[in-house]
Structure 1
């Protein structure tokens, strides 16, 4: 009996801590764009102190501002294709069936947490939409589920394992020569996905983090009598239905509602996919362009008609606004960083405080802290990669493992930064402050575990020689 009372007291403390953290977050955390803009100012001020003139800094910023446009579009398409696949009828039917499995509020929150993380390994864009729809369907079937705890559980993939999966921005970028800035390519060459996410060390991190996250989600979720439900918050997740027409009403619309063009487009796309895989193998074929292309073909097929597909694409567009406006800022930061000489200073700094044994841990801490100011997996990697990989090369540390150190640690600040929450917030009709409390609670547990994993597993990671095409 005493053991049960002790566990209930612990769960109560976790719940109260989550609410307190949510209130603090609501008051003090600005929009993600503000973080990126502040980073531009800070890097510019540092460049001034290093001898660059205001004109030189402005030229560095403006010259490089558009350097990441191809990469920006690739990231935007990860969101679009993820949304398109998750919102298709076949996937929605699967979600409806899954929603009937949980039978208690605590189980429901843990259930959402598990699927949020496992789907994020496929695509972080897909995970956010899949989780949002799953949350709405569970809320319609099960009474007494805390909408804040379940919403935070739906975001867990982006705060834990997404960058260890197939849509890892850093891993995909390093495997795609066309996406790597020339200055960075001279340091690293290309790094295959077989050397980053397709390793047993990466699998260990995934299993540990999913297990930890599901446990925290379960024990911290309020019971029915303490929960704040979506209904209590004035949020209605019931289906509103649609007046959208299902078939063509005039000759000009016939092809929009026919699967003929979809079938032809997918057939042409499949020829390319099969040819690339046959020539390079499935792992080598998995770069950013091919990854997005495969998801796009799958989305077309699942929606079946062009009209359904286009409607889904239109619904996904609001979620990419942050990516489109912020990634050029990261490119500008990269330009100032490289031309000011700050990159060389940072390399020397990391070399002065690191050894071959400690560098993965130090790099992990640094990436996590910087993520508070640059909330972007791919854009932030562009900023960090030159000096982290150069330092790794000097210390004889595997550059491929440093990519994974970055992937595991850069997800941590997502728990408290609203940037990546935007697609999920749009689906659920909630605000970042509603999810932040339980997200920060997860962060408290994740930080020491992630840093320990990237340090201990580094001892088994083989050194990878850069490949220059």
Structure 2
């Protein structure tokens, strides 16, 4: 055995042992994601009581209510995020896309190759649409598990989910898209400065796309070396294909003919595409939802097939719908100021983290703060609504008001949110719903992705102020 081979096996063995340690601790201490959100709510209440001057129980209840059902409720943004997920899932279930994913899943010969494929599919599709990427990675993992039943299914699902770490640099990046839309309620930069930040100053900057390539390469190596030796088989019910609904014999009724009239989907697609062209190819959250909706309709061919696929996809959003109100309440508590012009908890946390920064280090400290706040608000756009005002105000206070620098500040928040998702289980829920697994069977592997992402994206944010 060569020295290189021996060192290679030693490094792989160390990573496998560290991964196994992470898996064991997650299995012991990670509660169900819903209970995780409840515990975070209790923690935020305690922090508000301790750190916010004049905080009272009635005031905290009112702030919590305002974030869930009141004037500052999360419903509009929550519906947008759910629609991005559901339209992405519906597109992934289109026959032509599904056949392509199955063809890809037939290539791997072992679980490592399968995991790398899941990661590649999840990453590439997340750059197009995060909802599509979340679902596509899980669907490929499901097909790989069908062909390789002795593989560790949690490892495959985790590998697909790791691709989600690059979504904030893709075309459905909610923060970057909001920066371009003056009507967006989360366009914090426009609200505070009157400026719009084009995508050329955010996702198309080298500090944004270079770490995407580097992280994909490094995570590919990590996935190879963390492969578990034990097996975790998928639930056999996952592979039972639902039978298409039967219809009565005889000629189709008028309603059935309408349901199968493919030209209606073509007209819907043409109308959506026409509007997109007329708007000047404007990319924002609304246009992304529209494009994926009409493209999904076109690829499903008939209206009834599209309706059924959309209904199936909507089931994956159930756990998110259960938890979004809790995180809306957390956002309300984070923004609660008990006295007029007094500090709120999000301000206390953010200002404490960026204190002592200068223009070179402010984006990095904002990135650190983003990771912390993402544990409480695991939604890119919602998170930007919480941390964005502090980030922009800090930049303006240092005389940094260029679109490039403000765009960097927004991406610092986005980067932190992206890697925090590897240790915050909220966005893992759709994949878990597809796989019929629990969070403890998957998240131990994603801790490695968090550590890798912290180093790579952190370095990018440190270097960026010197090159923009």
2:313 and 2:226 map into 1 onto residues whose CA distance is 32
Shift of 1:331: 4.5
Decide whether aligned partners of structure 1 residues 70 and 156 sit closer, same or farther in structure 2, where only a CA change above 3 A counts: same
Listed as ranges, the matches of 1:304-315 within 5 Å are 304-315=301-312
1:44 and 1:355 map into 2 onto residues whose CA distance is 32
1:448 and 1:27 map into 2 onto residues whose CA distance is 27
Decide whether aligned partners of structure 1 residues 328 and 342 sit closer, same or farther in structure 2, where only a CA change above 3 A counts: farther
State yes or no: 1:292 paired with 2:289: yes
Decide whether aligned partners of structure 1 residues 402 and 453 sit closer, same or farther in structure 2, where only a CA change above 3 A counts: same
Q: Is the 8 A contact 1:161 1:206 kept in 2?
A: yes
Decide whether aligned partners of structure 1 residues 427 and 41 sit closer, same or farther in structure 2, where only a CA change above 3 A counts: closer
2:295 and 2:187 map into 1 onto residues whose CA distance is 32
Coordinate RMSD, CA, aligned: 2.7
Shift of 1:156: 0.8
Shift of 1:412: 1.7
Shift of 1:50: 0.8
Q: How many residues align?
A: 449
Decide whether aligned partners of structure 1 residues 422 and 219 sit closer, same or farther in structure 2, where only a CA change above 3 A counts: same
Tell me which residue corresponds to 2:206. 200
1:348 and 1:11 map into 2 onto residues whose CA distance is 41
State yes or no: 1:460 paired with 2:467: yes
Listed as ranges, the matches of 1:411-430 within 5 Å are 411-430=418-437
Of 160-169 and 336-345, deviating more is 336-345
What SS does the corresponding residue of 1:399 show, helix, strand or coil?
helix
- In structure 2, list runs of 5 or more residues that go unmatched: none
Q: Is the 8 A contact 1:188 1:399 kept in 2?
A: no
Listed as ranges, the matches of 1:13-92 within 5 Å are 13-48=14-49, 49-66=52-69, 67=72, 68-92=74-98
1:126 and 1:431 map into 2 onto residues whose CA distance is 21
What SS does the corresponding residue of 1:70 show, helix, strand or coil?
helix
Listed as ranges, the matches of 1:66-465 within 5 Å are 66=69, 67=72, 68-142=74-148, 144-158=150-164, 160-180=165-185, 185-189=190-194, 190-222=196-228, 226-230=229-233, 234-235=235-236, 237-245=238-246, 250-277=253-280, 282=281, 285-336=282-333, 337=335, 339-340=337-338, 341-343=342-344, 345=348, 348-350=351-353, 352-397=355-400, 398-461=405-468
1:457 and 1:146 map into 2 onto residues whose CA distance is 39
Please list the CA deviations of residues 346-402 of structure 1 after superposition, one character each: whole Å capped at 9, or x if unmatched.
565355321112112211112112222332222222211121221122234522101
Q: Is the 8 A contact 1:71 1:179 kept in 2?
A: no
Shift of 1:438: 1.4
Please list the CA deviations of residues 235-275 of structure 1 after superposition, one character each: whole Å capped at 9, or x if unmatched.
46545352434898544322112213212222222221221
Tell me which residue corresponds to 1:464. none
Please list the CA deviations of residues 160-184 of structure 1 after superposition, one character each: whole Å capped at 9, or x if unmatched.
2111111112222333333325987
What SS does the corresponding residue of 2:431 show, helix, strand or coil?
helix
Q: Is the 8 A contact 1:356 1:395 kept in 2?
A: yes
Q: Is the 8 A contact 2:186 2:381 kept in 1?
A: no
1:141 and 1:183 map into 2 onto residues whose CA distance is 48
Shift of 1:16: 2.8
Shift of 1:307: 1.2
Please list the CA deviations of residues 98-154 of structure 1 after superposition, one character each: whole Å capped at 9, or x if unmatched.
123323332221122112111111111101221122122223334653322211111
Tell me which residue corresponds to 1:466. none
Decide whether aligned partners of structure 1 residues 333 and 286 sit closer, same or farther in structure 2, where only a CA change above 3 A counts: same
1:444 and 1:267 map into 2 onto residues whose CA distance is 44
Decide whether aligned partners of structure 1 residues 183 and 136 sit closer, same or farther in structure 2, where only a CA change above 3 A counts: closer
